Structure 1
């Protein structure tokens, strides 16, 4: 942030991308440690001539448990395991940026989606309380959200208040306390309208949910200062244009730099056909 209270880009790109394969844990029929087995399997895959010849290299072979509960499917369990790997990758990048002093009061990071990470059983960043300081200058911005989760002082849903927000107005910030099982990390959450209701199709089109982890004991007790909330909100509003009319059904909820980053990341993906043809 500079004298005019606007954030500036630091012009650096951190990218961590690698193909993975996710298999059921029953693929390990040798009775050895799962970490060792699937790491060795990854090495064997990368040594195959047709993998080498394609110029590709697998970063990891992941595994998931095959016990099914409720409406779970094996496919969804595999997808969830890959998503967990993506979250760990995300946390590593934030930690690296923090270690290089790239996240400061002048340079905030917008995280596309929630920063309310679910508890992890494994990984270097499984305990949110221990990595909380990395997120001192990180803001989570969600295009989709459940408006009924937030309650007012009378314990009534704030959904109506959120839907009726005038253009460029925000709600008060709510204190969100997920509880001990989430590492006793509290959040400030508020909503802001970045598109005029006249040009949107649903009550919540054009509204963003904004999250900020609370760092100090004072913040955890009293919440964020209004000045900081207003500063973050104003900068979010400044990032709304230009938009992507016609290119995405969620255009009204897009921030332009987030949209462009999504497009860049998707352009780096291999198509389903290309990936399957590796085998």
Structure 2
């Protein structure tokens, strides 16, 4: 039976198959690698440095400016190792990646806004020489098994300054391709004009994937009606230039937040010079969570150039924050260990997307089939 090993053998690369599921790898914070820019005042029009509090007994608790919710998900598996030039070993990783968006209709029920995008990947180190890689890629992708799976063979690159182990480099590549799928969905929504100030989109996680955009200002302006919400975040981010020398970290400030309170807006810049407003909001009472940092979400909004100096209008920040407080009810308590920081429509979107994954056993067994 021509297994995957034999295809590699024909290309002069030794593959030793073994299996390991991705839940053995610790998930990083959603804002891993993030950095808040140190500034002297809040990055919003109200320059008060005090915690902002909302009166939850007065505000309309049914109001929300959000109608769309987008998420991406992946499952990765190490299926073996290859030996290159008889000297070094590199992992071979396969992945299922998915991305999708839901819309809340007039009946208040969520439904899929577009078809869920799906890809299956086989990831090889870029240390495989170009000729061998292309031959492996061609031999695999023209087999019946690969065509049935819609399998793509792609390269990953290990960068020591970014990845502590080789497998994480492959997972990062899968994540990048997942974000590309999110960008495609988002671009289609922007082009079709479905987004507006009262029909905004929540992206699960930070807006880090926008770093991959084309750099066109007119394109960036269209992301005004999109925010990113992170359930997990790095509590050790500094809040001032003194933090790296023993000053205050953001986690210490967040412990002060009570239910319905938010921080002032911080400034974040990406490597393209784009500016983002970042703030934190407590959406659960402290006496309802088991950890003092549970029930807090991190919110990120791209800033138009008109507000690069003054920051985001505070009334916009307040409207977004109140909408997100309202999206916190009902909860997915008992269905997800992250329930305290999970917005219910995002949870439903994530559940829908994950329902399209093949089971781990079925997916892994595909790579033991007859590759002809």
Match of 1:109 among 191, 195, 201: 201
> C-alpha deviations, 1:130-159, integer Å up to 9, x for none?
752242111110111123425269874343
Q: Report the alpha carbon displacement of residue 256 of structure 1 after superposing the two structures with TM.
A: 0.2
1:223-262 correspondence runs (5 A): 223-262=311-350
Deviation at 1:6, TM superposition (A): 3.0
Greater strand share, 1 or 2? Answer: 2
Q: Give matches, 1:1-279, under 5 Å.
A: 6-7=64-65, 8=67, 9=104, 13-14=113-114, 15-30=116-131, 37=134, 41=137, 44-52=139-147, 55-58=148-151, 60-65=152-157, 72-117=164-209, 119=211, 125=213, 127=215, 131-149=219-237, 151=239, 156-178=248-270, 182-217=271-306, 219-279=307-367
* Unmatched 5+ stretches in structure 1: none
Give the 3 Å change call, closer, same or farther, for CA 222–154 of structure 1 in structure 2: farther
Shift of 1:170: 1.2
Contact 2:64-2:327 within 8 A present in 1 as well: no
Compared with structure 1, are the counterparts of its residues 119 and 228 closer, same or farther at alpha carbon in structure 2 (3 Å cutoff)? closer
Asked which structure has the greater CA Rg, the reply is: 2
CA deviation after TM superposition for structure 1 residue 175, in Å:
2.1
1:232 to partner: Cα distance: 0.4
Distance 2:153 2:303 in 1: 36
Q: Secondary structure, in 3 states, of the residue corresponding to 1:190?
A: strand
- Between 1:191-200 and 1:20-29, the stretch displaced more is 20-29
Secondary structure at the counterpart of residue 261 of structure 2 = coil
3-state DSSP of counterpart to 2:207: coil
RMSD: 2.8
Q: Would the alpha carbon gap of residues 126 and 80 (structure 1) be closer, same or farther in structure 2, given more than 3 Å must change?
A: farther
* Cα separation, 1, equivalents of 2:140 and 2:210: 31
The question of whether the paired residues in 2 share the 8 Å contact of 1:240 and 1:256 is answered with: yes
Secondary structure of the corresponding residue to residue 232 of structure 1: helix
Instruction: Provide the rounded CA distance (Å) in 2 between the counterparts of 1:248 and 1:64.
Output: 31
Q: 2:183, 2:209 within 8 Å by CA — same for their partners in 1?
A: no
Asked if structure 2 preserves the Cα contact closer than 8 Å seen for 1:128 and 1:183, the reply is no
Instruction: State the distance in 1 between where 2:159 and 2:287 align.
Output: 49
Q: Determine which structure has the larger helix proportion and give its number.
A: 1
Q: 1:67 to 1:203 in 2, by over 3 A?
A: closer
For residues 110 and 67 of structure 1, do their structure 2 counterparts lie closer, same or farther at Cα, with a shift above 3 Å needed?
Answer: closer
Report the alpha carbon displacement of residue 91 of structure 1 after superposing the two structures with TM.
Answer: 1.3
CA contact (8 A) 1:174 1:190 kept: yes
Q: Structure 1 stretch 125-134 or stretch 251-260: which is displaced more?
A: 125-134
1:30 is paired with a residue whose SS is helix
Question: Per-residue deviation at 1:47?
Answer: 3.4
1:140-197 Cα deviation digits (max 9, x unpaired): 101111234252698743433322211111111122234xxx1111111111111110
Q: Following the alignment from structure 1 to structure 2, what is the Cα–Cα distance between the partners of residues 231 and 116? A: 23
